[in-house]
A and B are shown apart, each in its own frame.
Chain A
Amino acid sequence: MVVDNPGETDARQTLAPGISSRPPEAARPPEESGNGTVLDIKDLTIDFVSVDGRVRILNGVSLNAKKGEVVGIVGESGSGKTTLGLAILGLLDSPPADIVSGTAFFEGKDLLKLKPAELEKVHGTGINMVFQEPLDSLNPVYTVETQIGEALKVQRKRQDPPAAQETEGETKNLITDLLRNLCIDKPEEVLERYPHELSGGMRQRVAISISIIEKPRLMISDEPTTGLDAYVQNRILGMFSAQRKAGETLLYITHDLTIASQICDRIYIMYAGRVMEAGETRGVLQEPLHPYTSTLVASVPQGFEDAPPLSVQLGEPPDLRNLPHGCKFNPRCPYAKDVCKETEPKLEEIFSRRYAACWRVDKELGRFS
Chain B
Amino acid sequence: MGDLVEVENLTVAFRSKRREGLFRSGPSLKALDDVSLTIGENETFGLTGETGSGKSTLAKVLVALYKPTSGTVRFLGREIDYKNRKDIAFLRQNVGIVFQDPVRSLNPSLTVKEVITEALIAAKSIPKKDYDERINFITKLVGVTKDLLPRRPRELSGGQRQRISLARALVVPKKLLVLDEPTSALDVSIQAQVLNTLKRLKSELNMSYLFITHDINVIKYVSHRLGVLFYGRLVEVGDTRTVDTEPKHPYTQSLISHVLTLKKVGLQEAVVSEHRPAPSGCRYRIVCPAAFERCAAVPRWVNLGSGHLVSCFLYDHSSKKENGALLPTTAAMGGDLRVPPHDPS
Contact = CB atoms under 8 A, between A and B. Distances in A.
A361 interface: no
A313 B189 contact: yes
Of B199, B264, B274, the most chain A CB neighbours within 10 A belong to B274
Interface string A111-154: 00000000000000000000000000000000000000000000
A301 B240 CA distance: 14
Given A1-B290, A231-B258, A184 B157 contact: no
Contacts of B52: 199
Interface in A183-226: 183-185, 199, 201
B289 A234 contact: no
Contacts of B275: 185, 231
A163 interface: no
B50 interface: yes
A230 B259 contact: yes
A309 interface: yes
A328 to B, nearest CB: 15
Interface residues of A, number: 59
Interface residues of B, number: 59
Contacts of B195: 301, 310
A293 to B, nearest CB: 11
A302 interface: yes
A262 B290 contact: no
B221 interface: yes
A228 to B, nearest CB: 8
A1 B314 contact: yes
A299 B270 contact: no
Interface string B209-241: 000001011101111100000000000000011
A52 interface: no
B191 A15 contact: no
Contacts of A28: none
Interface stretch (B67-75, B84-92, B247-255, B321-329): B247-255
Contacts of A12: 266, 268-269
A76 B267 contact: no
A303 interface: yes
Given A296-B188, A299-B188, A304-B221, 5 more contacts: A14-B266, A19-B265, A231-B271, A258-B262, A317-B187
28 contacts: A3-B253, A3-B288, A3-B290, A4-B254, A9-B257, A14-B265, A20-B266, A76-B187, A76-B190, A180-B272, A180-B273, A229-B50, A230-B214, A230-B260, A234-B270, A235-B270, A237-B267, A257-B188, A258-B217, A258-B264, A297-B262, A302-B217, A302-B261, A303-B220, A307-B221, A309-B199, A316-B159, A317-B190
